[in-house]
Amino acid sequence: MPDLKTAYSLFESNYDNLLALVSKRMEVEMQYHYQSDIKQLKPDLFDQFREFGELLRVVYRYDLTDILPEEAAWYASALSSRGSVKDAFGLLINSWIIAMQGVIKPPECNLLASPLQALMSNIDSVLSKAEHRLGFPPPVEISDLVNILIEGDRMNAQKQLLAQVNIGVKSYELITKFILPAMVEIGRRWENNELQIFEEHLATETIIRLLAGFTYTFKPEENINRKALVSCVPNDKHQLVPMALGTFLELKGWQVTSLGSSLPEDQIVLAAKKIKPDAIFLSINMLSRLTDALELILKLQQNHPEIKILVGGNGTRTGKALLEKTNAVVIQSFEEAHQIAIQGN
């Protein structure tokens, strides 16, 4: 009987060939078999196929097949809102199954394909999970802020936020009570295909400009004389959350250095050596980046065992147990990150 470890080794060693086959099948199927409603997905579709492959690498490596239906619901939701409800998701799953069967011999290919075949057999259940992801519109003040952000109107957005400060909201609470919920709502609208791509980009750029101005507009709550290094894990391109966290920590009195997104592991380790922070805050947005996160944490601990490491983000939800085995602290909120990081210092 094959084991998942052996099957994963074959999957990993053949990954580039598998991804190439998945891409080729997508192109052929899109060209000859699908109608215009799904063809309009093409600019985003390959990114979804590739990102799903990264998820599979994590699922097989850490034996997380039980969480695959929940994770797959995100892809089903994003794809179904942009085309045929079943066709796009079915194309995604079947393409990976066929690629495995074409490259990897039985019985290992059967073991790898089994959880994907289960997804196809229970596609209605996965799509039902996807529907539950759609969520509900937020409170009116968040909806109003998002409407301003997607227009790229920084001045009006800033005016709305300053009005909250004038009625007693603390400056760092603007991030947790308004900016973060607005980011969640932007993500919800994107997933539901309620935003054009340019609107999502406008909102992102406007939030970046707002956050950049916060530390000039508002004074820190206090000076706690602590250094923070904030970064995405390698290959994570979602820079808004670490930027928001960095701004939050500055308003709490930290001296913050932010490395942004997609920086290689060795450069993050080198930055820690040079900056000598009291705490390192890492952001992992998707479970598909779990391996990058675990390897980075291990390398940081080997080189800087004295530095406290905290990690948060959507990707920690199902990867929490593995992350905690490294002795990194998995945090659920910005305030919790701040409180835990200053303990014992």
Q: pLDDT for 192-219, tens place per residue? A: 778 888 999 999 999 999 999 998 899 9
Residues 271 and 181 in one domain: no
3-state SS class at 179: helix
* Domain boundary, last residue among 80, 97, 132: 132
Assess whether pLDDT exceeds 70 at residue 80.
no
Strand ordering across the sheet containing 279-283: 255-258, 227-232, 279-283, 308-312, 329-330
* Helix, strand, coil in percent for the chain, rounding step 5: 65, 5, 25
Q: Which two tokens stand for residue 214?
A: 């916060």
Is-cis flag, bond preceding 234, omega within 30? no
Residues 227 and 239 in one domain: yes
**148 alpha carbon, distance to own chain's centre:** 24
Residues 81 and 178 in one domain: no
Residues 141 and 164 in one domain: yes
Q: Which two tokens stand for residue 5?
A: 């470890």
Q: Which of 52-56, 132-136, 248-252, 341-345 has the least mean pLDDT?
A: 132-136
298 half-sphere exposure, CB direction, 13 A CA radius: 9
- Residue type, position 9, single letter: S
Assess whether pLDDT exceeds 70 at residue 344.
no
Tell me: the pLDDT tens digits for 311-337?
999 889 889 999 999 999 999 999 999
Assess whether pLDDT exceeds 90 at residue 100.
yes
* Domain boundary, last residue among 132, 165, 193: 132
Q: What is the CATH number of the domain that holds 206?
A: 1.10.1240.10
Residue with the larger pLDDT of the pair 189 and 294: 294
Q: Which of these, 90, 116, 92, lies nearest to 104 by C-alpha position? A: 116
Residues 54 and 149 in one domain: no
Residues 96 and 158 in one domain: no
Q: What is the pLDDT of residue 237?
A: 86
H or E stretch covering 195: none
Residues 205 and 225 in one domain: no
Query: What is the number of residues in the chain?
Result: 345
Residues 229 and 201 in one domain: no
Q: Which of these, 211, 209, 228, lies nearest to 171 by C-alpha position? A: 211
Q: What is the CATH number of the domain that holds 271?
A: 3.40.50.280
Residue whose structure tokens are 């490294």: 326
In angstroms, the CA 112 to CA 146 distance is 42
In angstroms, the CA 338 to CA 342 distance is 6
pTM of the model: 0.90
DSSP state, 157?
H
Q: Which two tokens stand for residue 280?
A: 């390192």
pLDDT confidence bin for 33, thresholds 50/70/90: low
State the total domains in the chain. Answer: 3
Residues 271 and 172 in one domain: no
Rg (CA), the chain: 22
Residues 276 and 345 in one domain: yes
Residues 250 and 285 in one domain: yes
* Domain boundary, last residue among 71, 104, 132: 132
15-32 vs 4-13: helix crossing angle, rounded to 10? 70
Containing domain of residue 122, as a range?
4-132
- Phi/psi for 256 (5° steps) reads -115, 135
Q: Taking a C-beta distance cutoff of 8 angstroms, is the pair 73, 130 a contact?
A: yes
Residues 185 and 250 in one domain: no
